[in-house]
Structure 1
């Protein structure tokens, strides 16, 4: 009985020892397999990181190119804005030719009303032209040229040695043309209707001159001011704001 117990115990111990040896053997073998697998995983991870880095660098370069293009567009926009502003200022100052809706008027002598032997009036008094301009401005005229000379804010119309001059230009012979431009066609129609019944027609007739007003035209071309503009009482400001 005791021998059987001893044999059984010995057998159990042997089996247990064998099982433990087998487990230990497997434990020793597995790290080698796991290490090999980890190396490939590290290589794959490294490749993925390199690929990600490459993608990030490409994205950074793309964004830098976009920023450069944006800066270039912004600079061009600023330049274009300056160009557009300059055009607007030149237009407002009368330094650019412009085609807009408007009317044309003609000033000519009234020959049929003049008695035989009476000299024909070939001079338009400057005060008549000034009153005509004032009336046109009152009726929303925006661009005006008389005898081919653009009228601007600094224009001077006066009599010099019995000659009517517009900024130094002598209005010598009749007939002369007056071109008037406005913002839109409806304003041109209103201007035409008002000028047809204005007092200017009578005032010109008193001076043996006829003022003929044409019908509204969607496209009349007003020439640019072609003389130099003198600027007085203006000095460039110093950099930094000090004048």
Structure 2
């Protein structure tokens, strides 16, 4: 039981004990022969009954106060639990998220050639390599086009197209939005990254800009808990 609840209960029991002690003392103390008439006795009895009724009313008020406190404490616990759920949803990518970050726009590069050119496309290998570098350089959240990238996001090649979250990735140009606690530092890393060179080889280039108010969409796919693995690295005894 909470400390305030214990204090209220202690006050209730103290009042009860005090009244019992007074009544017990009044019974034990010897009295002189009662010479009052019946009217006086009835008036005294009525006064005692009124006092007893007032005591019951005070006890009822204390019990009501205690119940209100317990209800409020329970609601506070519910609110705390809801806040924890919301924080976990945001951390898992299940809600929109706004913050500072960078936007990487992937554009095609056309060569000066008289012959026909193949329109470049982003392969799963290029995309996975880019995501790994972003994570290594301080990315906290990533969205590829309109798809939120989370820990279980599949990136694969299907019938000649790259799929992210089981949806085909649009043709370039498209944006990759990245949140970071240090977006300027992340931009500097990406300007000299291996991924930038890899995209140039495939006739694509980066255009990177820092944004102070960048919003990423939420992950709207179904999460299969059977494929989710429990991270046990934070258990007791492990650092």
* Fold shared, TM-score > 0.5 on shorter chain: yes
TM-score by length of 2: 0.72
The aligned counterpart of 1:3 is none
* In the alignment, structure 1 residue 91 sits paired with structure 2 residue 90: yes
The aligned counterpart of 1:69 is 68
Structure 2 stretches of 5 or more lacking a match? 1-31, 229-239
The aligned counterpart of 1:136 is 134
1:203 to 186, 198, 201: 198
Q: What is the CA distance between 1:47 and its match in structure 2?
A: 5.9
TM-score by length of 1: 0.71
* In the alignment, structure 1 residue 212 sits paired with structure 2 residue 207: yes
Cα distance change of structure 1 residues 128 and 233 upon mapping to structure 2, 3 Å threshold? closer
SS in 1 for 2:225: coil
1:178-200 per-residue CA deviation (whole Å, 9 max, x = no partner) reads 00113x4xx22221222222222
2: CA distance between counterparts of 1:172 and 1:43? 95
Flag the structure with larger Rg: 1
Alpha carbons 1:100, 1:181 under 8 Å: kept: yes
SS in 2 for 1:232: helix
Q: What is the CA distance between 1:230 and its match in structure 2?
A: 1.9
Alpha carbons 1:103, 1:213 under 8 Å: kept: yes
Q: Which moved more, 1:62-71 or 1:148-157?
A: 62-71
- Relative to total residues, which structure has the larger helix share, 1 or 2? 1
1:12-67 per-residue CA deviation (whole Å, 9 max, x = no partner) reads xxxxxxxxxxxxxxxxxxx9xx9459x85x67765664454343223212211112
SS in 1 for 2:226: coil
Cα distance change of structure 1 residues 132 and 114 upon mapping to structure 2, 3 Å threshold? farther
1: CA distance between counterparts of 2:198 and 2:187? 17
Aligned length: 197
Alignment of 1:140-179 (within 5 A): 140-179=138-177
SS in 1 for 2:115: coil
Structure 1 stretches of 5 or more lacking a match? 1-30, 235-243
Cα distance change of structure 1 residues 114 and 87 upon mapping to structure 2, 3 Å threshold? farther
1:192 to 171, 187, 199: 187
Alpha carbons 1:123, 1:171 under 8 Å: kept: no
The aligned counterpart of 1:232 is 226
1: CA distance between counterparts of 2:64 and 2:183? 52
1:205-235 per-residue CA deviation (whole Å, 9 max, x = no partner) reads 11110111102x222111011111222268x
* In the alignment, structure 1 residue 56 sits paired with structure 2 residue 51: no
1: CA distance between counterparts of 2:97 and 2:199? 28
Q: What is the CA distance between 1:158 and its match in structure 2?
A: 1.8
1: CA distance between counterparts of 2:36 and 2:222? 90
